[in-house]
Amino acid sequence: MEETIKEWLNSKVSNISEKIKQGKEPDWYETNLLLYFLMENDVKRTINEGISKLEGRIDSVEKKVEAVDNKVDVVKNELEKKIEEVNKKVEAVDNKVDTTKQCLEKKIEAVDNKVDTIKQYLEKKIVEEDSSLENEINKVRSDMGILAEEILVDKTVEKLEKEGEKVINVERGVETSLGEVDALIFTENKKVYVLEVKLKVDFNDVDVVKKKAEEIKRNYPDFQVIPAITGGRIGRKIKNYAKGSDVTVL
């Protein structure tokens, strides 16, 4: 239908053109028809020109976009290369860190082992020194105990003699089933003092010397056996307890 209308319009315009060529004036209808035809052509031409310009612009934009894409690709490739280089460097650093870490761990382990060895050595030496020191201390204590015992036994003998007793014999280190008696002091009037010597006397010492005296009495039935105790420190309560237990404090 559109083609039919175009053919009709072209035919009419052709007839009007011939009429003008013959020097005839077109009527109002023909004039409007010519104007429409000319305007349509102008519009078409304008549109075509606009389309042509737009296509040119589009081509230009596409070229610019393509150029930008190419530039982006170049930049992208460069960035990818740089990223790859950075990744390689990071990997190298990681490997170096791992190597350093392993090296440090080995050194730390070696130091720990050395510290343990030194610690064990020192602990052994300390134990040995403590044992040696303890032996020395025990020896000193033993020597002091023996010395104190000698002094206190002699002082006890002197005290008894000042009180009128005549000491005829002193036996030291007499064994009993309850342990050693520090001294048996024999007097002329048939008394035997069963003497226990302590640097510090306690209640148990009083009980023990009393039991030792009972055992000694069986060996000396003709003697008056007297349990006695002396020491560097004897408190009032101990003295009262000894007195109540028939143990003489010298």
Domain boundary at 38, 66, 94, which?
66
Phi and psi, residue 48, nearest 5°: -65, -40
| Complete edge-to-edge strand list for the sheet that includes strand 179-187 | 167-176, 179-187, 191-200, 224-233, 248-249
Rounded distance between C-alpha atoms, residue 200 and residue 56, angstroms: 124
Whether residue 119 is contained in a domain is answered as no
Tell me: do 151 and 241 sit in the same domain.
Answer: yes
Tell me: do 151 and 242 sit in the same domain.
Answer: yes
Whether residue 89 is contained in a domain is answered as no
List of E strands, 38-108: none
Per-residue pLDDT of the chain (250 residues; tens, 9 = 90+): 667 777 777 787 788 888 788 888 888 888 887 788 778 777 677 777 777 887 778 878 788 878 877 887 887 888 888 888 888 888 888 888 888 888 888 888 888 888 888 888 888 888 777 777 777 776 666 556 677 788 889 999 999 999 999 999 999 989 999 899 999 999 999 999 999 998 889 999 999 999 999 999 999 999 999 999 998 788 899 999 999 999 999 8
> Which pLDDT value is given to residue 143?
57
Here the CATH number for the domain that contains residue 234 is 3.40.1350.10
Domain boundary at 66, 97, 127, which?
66
> Which pLDDT value is given to residue 55?
79
Q: What's the burial of 212, exposed, middle or buried (CB within 10 Å: 0-12/13-18/19+)?
A: buried
Rounded distance between C-alpha atoms, residue 72 and residue 75, angstroms: 5
Among candidate residues 155, 216, 208, 211, the one with its CA nearest the CA of residue 191? 216
Long-range contacts (CB closer than 8 Å, 24 or more residues apart) made by 5-14: 9/33, 9/37, 13/37
Question: Is 248:242 a contact under the CB 8 Å cutoff?
Answer: yes
Whether residue 195 is contained in a domain is answered as yes
Among candidate residues 195, 201, 194, 189, the one with its CA nearest the CA of residue 238? 201
> Which pLDDT value is given to residue 234?
87
Whether residue 244 is contained in a domain is answered as yes
Tell me: do 152 and 62 sit in the same domain.
Answer: no
Domain hosting 180: range is 144-249
Whether residue 136 is contained in a domain is answered as no
Whether residue 46 is contained in a domain is answered as yes
Q: Strand 179-187 to strand 191-200: parallel, antiparallel, or no bridges (unpaired)?
A: antiparallel
Domain boundary at 66, 81, 96, which?
66
> Which pLDDT value is given to residue 145?
63
Whether residue 7 is contained in a domain is answered as no
Number of domains in the chain: 2
Whether residue 164 is contained in a domain is answered as yes
